[in-house]
Structure 1
Amino acid sequence: MQEYTSKQHRIQRPAEQIFAAVSRFDNLTPAVADRVEEWQATEDTCSFKAKGFTVKLRIAEKEAPKYVKIESDEGGLPVDFSFWIQLQPVAAYDTRMRLVLRADLNMMMRMMIGGKLQGAIDQIAEALANAFNGIVPPGFDPSAVQS
């Protein structure tokens, strides 16, 4: 298993508030539905198509307000992976977030996409931090987030 870890980002919100938003896939619907094909989400599972590939994910574990562990689900990508959103409360309105991706890649796949995965994990972490810090992406409605 290869591990890709994002840079740590500071979010000026309580960890509990961030956890409430990221611990349910259905909270992502307003931000994601128009960016991927065939988006479907429940609280603990989601599926979509991206660049012709079907992606199926499920929340495998969560511990409020520390982390959410997401895994690939059957019938999706042919690569086993797990993805953590880690939250570390520092103060009432200061939470540090880091993303960790572990993927089972063969040598050829590591050489082809390893650097791209690191770049992607850093971009996702930055986009999440920006969204929570008030730099809201187009189409995202914070009032639609369920807790």
Structure 2
Amino acid sequence: MALKFESSVKHIPASQERVYNKLSNLDNLQPIRERLAEVKNQLDGKIEDLTFDNDSLTIKVQGINLTLRIVEREPMKCIKFEGDKTPIPLNLWIQILPVTEEEAKIKVTIGADVNMFMKAMVSKPLQEGAEKLADMLTKIPY
């Protein structure tokens, strides 16, 4: 059963191009990793570690490593990720749209392929994950 979880639309005080350029190369997220120690307490210990390179991001959540790889970049508009050896088939995409020359809006969508039994277990965490990721993306300096 294919499920889709969408964040609310978030505004970022930066141009669509700056947001895309920052997020399409995951090496640009080094400041987030440096701040992870500061925010771990706010996340109730859910995120234990974060590693990344240009095309992939691995998050250690409650002892489980989740790796997302960029599988498609649509310049200025969208970055698509796919789960790599994740417990359930998973994909994620970040949509970026212009509002003005110096403001963009984003939305995070998570797709998961689960059975009916798993749906009850994963729906709430994945919806919260989409929303928290979108919130986190608004806090990055672009």
Structure 2 SS opposite 1:43: coil
Query: Is the 1:53–1:77 Cα contact (8 Å) retained in structure 2?
Result: no
Q: Deviations over 1:82-125 (max 9, x none)?
A: 10100011210121111111011111111122022112211221
Structure 2 SS opposite 1:78: coil
Structure 2 SS opposite 1:65: coil
Matched, 1:68 2:76: no
Structure (1/2) with the larger strand percentage: 2
TM-score (norm 2): 0.81
In structure 2, C-alpha distance between the alignment counterparts of 1:4 and 1:77, rounded to whole Å: 17
Structure 2 SS opposite 1:79: coil
* CA displacement at 1:71 relative to structure 2: 0.7
Residue 44 of structure 2 is matched in structure 1 by none
Q: Between the two proteins, what is the percent identity of the paired residues? A: 29
TM-score (norm 1): 0.79
* Mean Cα deviation higher: 38-47 or 9-18: 38-47
Let me know the Cα RMSD of the aligned residues: 2.0
Aligned residues: 131
Change (3 A) 1:60 1:10: same
Q: Deviations over 1:110-143 (max 9, x none)?
A: 11220221122112212212x14xxxxxxxxx5x
Structure 1: runs of 5 or more not aligned: 133-141
Structure 1 SS opposite 2:20: helix
Structure 2: runs of 5 or more not aligned: 38-46
Matched, 1:78 2:87: yes
Query: Is the 2:52–2:58 Cα contact (8 Å) retained in structure 1?
Result: yes
In structure 1, C-alpha distance between the alignment counterparts of 2:24 and 2:113, rounded to whole Å: 24
Residue 20 of structure 2 is matched in structure 1 by 19
Structure 1's consecutive aligned runs of 4 or more residues displaced over 3 angstroms after TM superposition are 33-40
Change (3 A) 1:40 1:118: closer
Structure 1 SS opposite 2:65: strand
Match among 112, 118, 139 for residue 109 of structure 1: 118
Change (3 A) 1:39 1:115: closer
* Mean Cα deviation higher: 22-31 or 97-106: 22-31
Matches within 5 A, 1:1-147: 1-32=2-33, 34-35=36-37, 36-37=47-48, 39-73=50-84, 76-129=85-138, 131-132=139-140, 142=141
